[in-house]
Chain A
Amino acid sequence: MSDDGLDPVIHAPARLRLMVTLATLPDGDNLSFTRLQELIGLTPGNLITHLRKLEDAGYVQTNKTGSGVNALTTVALTRDGRAALERYTAVLRQLLDTAELAQPQVRTHLEPDTDSAGNYASHNDAGPHRRAQQGNG
């Protein structure tokens, strides 16, 4: 952990984006490397580097299937990864709350899509009417 309690593995812009993006998927889902790259906007080399760090920490799991032109690499958040992101979010919220007490105009970006426990709402399921279920659109 860093001095302020934020997990250093997550606390880097690219990896934070990766973790948050993967956390929007429901448990049991994964994202292809190509789609993840498109969503995050990193070069393949950078994405591999960041994924390796997250994988070494046990936060993501990559899986490669097929070979040649049929090769498909998928990435999924592990349970440890989801838990780590929830802890990170909780610590971040504490830091922001502290900052807000000292400076009331500070607004957080954490509230809309996390529940009281800091868990992420999942928005991916493509069942025809899943979005209506989410409550937050």
Chain B
Amino acid sequence: MNEGTGITDGADASEAAGMDAQAAAAIMGEARERAQRELTVNRPVIFASWALVYLLGYGMVWLSVRGQRPFHAPEGWALALLALLAVLALGVTAAVTDRATSGVGGVSQLRRRIYWLSLAVGLLGVYIMQPALRYVGAGHGVISVFTASSPLLVAGVVLAAGTAAWLNWYAFGLGVWLIAVAAFSGFAGPAGVWAMDALAVGIPFLVMAAITLARGRS
């Protein structure tokens, strides 16, 4: 190719004449591979960063509440660590997504915006409900279960519903799994719910990171 030089019809024709079927196939393969690599969101990194939020963040919150008799609340340092990890994971997700989707417009961009907006609005609603529950006199146990599992419920519903746009059964399955974890983990109690969510979300996210990484390399 003559990058960097002017292209005339003559030069163009001679370029084409010098390109046989195999060379064309090689160019197609290389261009497709590069476009896919550059334009595809690096999901292993996103899955791994959120796995860390659950395994480490939720895990630390669980460590801070597991011995409490009677149960009152997670320790401030544990919640602060969880918040820090969540902010870091959000930053990683935003950076990785932006790197792949920079310059890409149209329908996908609109879908992405609606997806993230739905998630943000859902999480905002959850965090507004939390003081409302306190206000109506909900106990520490109820608040703990709600704080641990309601974000999962929101994420699961948005993810499962979002698959209508992506036609992606894997994402739908993950969404349903998050809903199931949110629904059932509360039975582990106000302390156990943190451990249950940490393992039931963190481990599958790590597995998804490994699977998507392996697929990307194959």
Contacts and interface: CB of A to CB of B under 8 A. Distances in A.
17 contacts: A23-B32, A28-B106, A38-B103, A39-B35, A46-B6, A49-B6, A92-B24, A92-B28, A96-B21, A109-B29, A123-B39, A129-B166, A130-B171, A131-B216, A132-B171, A132-B211, A133-B168
B7 A123 contact: no
B41 A130 contact: yes
B115 interface: yes
A130 B35 contact: no
A74 B22 CA distance: 31
A57 interface: no
Contacts of B174: 129
A45 interface: yes
A32 B102 CA distance: 8
A99 interface: yes
B183 interface: no
Contacts of B72: none
B25 A131 contact: no
Contact of B36 (A6, A43, A96, A123): A123
Contacts of A20: 27-28, 31-32, 35
Interface in A61-79: 74, 76
Interface residues of A, number: 62
A58 interface: no
A29 interface: yes
Contacts of A39: 34-35, 38-39
B215 interface: yes
Interface string B199-218: 00000000010011011111
B40 to A, nearest CB: 5
B7 A125 contact: no
Contact of A126 (B26, B41, B167, B211): B41
A76 B108 CA distance: 13
A21 B108 contact: no
Q: Does more than half of chain B's interface fall in helix, strand or loop, or is it mixed?
A: helix
Interface residues of B, number: 64
A135 B43 CA distance: 14
A11 B19 contact: yes
B95 to A, nearest CB: 13
Interface in B84-130: 93, 97, 100-109, 111-112, 115
B162 interface: yes
Contact of A11 (B16, B104, B111): B16
Contacts of A104: none
A124 B170 contact: no
Given A12-B12, A130-B168, A43 B212 contact: no
A34 B108 contact: no
The 7 closest A-B pairs by CB, nearest first: A35-B103, A137-B215, A109-B29, A28-B107, A129-B171, A32-B103, A133-B168
A104 to B, nearest CB: 14
B111 A127 contact: yes
Given A113-B36, A124-B39, 18 more contacts: A14-B7, A16-B27, A21-B32, A26-B108, A29-B107, A30-B105, A32-B103, A95-B21, A110-B28, A124-B108, A126-B41, A126-B97, A127-B108, A128-B41, A128-B43, A132-B170, A133-B166, A133-B170
